[in-house]
Structure 1
């Protein structure tokens, strides 16, 4: 029987670069593809706490505003025959913030939506980026989705 694993988080980091919104993509060290911040939820954490921990571990960034992206990312992992579900988040960071990568990533880029869609290898990633851009950049994010503000 296939297991359902809703114990992951993923999220898009947004900031303004030269007065235009950009999203952060990270290049995975192990497989060399571009992605966003993601990781497992540990036993003592809520999903949003896990995302903030992963954000800090992977990039050394602190969010100024954290939102529930109102999006679940799912993917099938054939090696273990499992479906994983990641709870989606969006964070805004101060402009010109310094990114410091951990050993999970070799590079990073601040991307427009078009650039992110070209770099993302998986259709599910591209859908997530489009969702985030529509509801958190093009339109104003709704206050009901706000989890924390001011250096969360």
Structure 2
């Protein structure tokens, strides 16, 4: 048997950077790879509470426009025999959003989809980025996915 875990959330930030829509990637200290925002849901938090807190902690982004991306990122952790199911959120940021990294990351980059796919090493990240780009950049945003804060 493989237990399921739903204790993690993830989020992709989008902002118009010098007039062009881009997504935020950060380079993690642990592992040295490029990723989007993510973290554990703490005791007493909802998934929405957790992603808002994670954006504040990791980037200093104050979330004001949040969407359920309608995508579940998933991966198997063989060392603990757990399948992680991670709801992905999208944060629409103001143009030229400033970023202040915490100690979990060494660098950040606002990326086009192609740049993000080049930087991120994992296939499940690529699937997340393609989904977010298709439904939040290439198409008008479906307001049914807006999370009321």
TM-score (structure 2 length as normaliser):
0.96
| Corresponding position of 1:104 | 104
1-structure distance, mates of 2:75, 2:143 = 29
| Corresponding position of 2:50 | 50
Contact map agreement 1:64 1:94 (CA 8 A) in 2? no
What CA RMSD, in Å, does the superposition of the two structures yield over aligned residues?
A: 1.0
2-structure distance, mates of 1:97, 1:124 = 26
**Secondary structure, counterpart of 1:103 in structure 2:** coil
Mapping for residues 56-135 of structure 1, pairs under 5 Å: 56-135=56-135
Q: How far is the alpha carbon of 1:97 from its aligned partner?
A: 2.2
2-structure distance, mates of 1:119, 1:55 = 20
Paired residues, number: 149
Comparing 92-101 with 128-137, greater Cα deviation is found at 92-101
Q: How far is the alpha carbon of 1:81 from its aligned partner?
A: 1.6
Q: How far is the alpha carbon of 1:41 from its aligned partner?
A: 0.9
Q: How far is the alpha carbon of 1:26 from its aligned partner?
A: 0.6
TM-score (structure 1 length as normaliser):
0.94
